Amino acid sequence: MKRLLVMLFLMLATLPAAAGGLAPVIPKASGKPHPEGNLFMRINHMKLMKHDRDQTVREGDREIGHSLKACIECHAVNGADGQPVDISSDKHFCRTCHDFAAVKVDCFQCHNSRPEAKSQVLILPRPGDTNDLAAYLEGAAR
């Protein structure tokens, strides 16, 4: 049932024309697209991160595929000052979707919501860019 609702929500979000202001505007990421596909990540990112966080914290496994640190590095969004915004900004990657779905994120009471200062070039959400979900999906598929 829960899975079905998630699917429904994601379907709705990927209807660009019909959705209009309904769908969240998701900023583009830097780095390579997820090999598993964005839909997979949207549905499963929390499971992947939870699994791998336990691997790292409890087993000492540092070679994991889905760390919050890596999410933050690729998905950082820069603010007006050219610096990555933190979770207090509604432009933050996590918040664009989580605010829309009204799902509380529990990560950032402890984790930094911005990448380390030395991190690489970030892609900005340019004005007029077709950075809605459909375009993002297309871009990822290319």
Partner 1 sequence: MKPPALSFHKKPSEMSRRDFLKSGGAVATITLAQGVTLMAFGGQAGAMADPGKRWGLLIDVGKCTSDCTACVTACSTENGWQDTGHPETDAQWIRKVDLVDDATGHELSLPMMCQHCDDAPCIDVCPTTASFKRADGIVLVDKHICIGCRYCMMACPYKARSFVHEPVRGQKTYAPRGQGTVESCTLCVHRVDRGDSPACVEACGKTGNGAMMFGDLMDPESQISQALLNYPSLALRDDLGLRPGVRYQNL
Task: State the residues that interact with partner 1 by CB under 8 A.
Answer: 3, 7, 11, 30-32, 34-37, 39-40, 43-44, 47-48, 51-55, 57-67, 69-70, 72-74, 86, 109-112, 114-116, 119-120
Distance (Å, whole) CA 31 – CA 110:
25
Min dist CB 20 to partner 1, Å, is 21
Longest dimension (CA), the chain: 47
Give the nearer residue to partner 1 in terms of CB position, either 26 or 48: 48
Shortest gap between Cβ of 42 and partner 1 (angstroms)? 9
Three-class secondary structure assignment of 27-56: CCCCCCCCCCCHHHHHHHHHHHHHHHHHHH
For residue 78, the cross-strand partners are 84
Q: Minimum distance from CB of 31 to partner 1 (Å)? A: 5
Please say which residue, 36 or 132, places its beta carbon nearer to partner 1. 36
Contact indicator for 86, 114 with CB cutoff of 8 Å: yes
CA-to-CA distance for 27 and 71, rounded, in angstroms?
Answer: 13
Residue 107 or 135: which CB sits closer to partner 1? 107
Of 7 and 101, nearer to partner 1 (C-beta) is 7
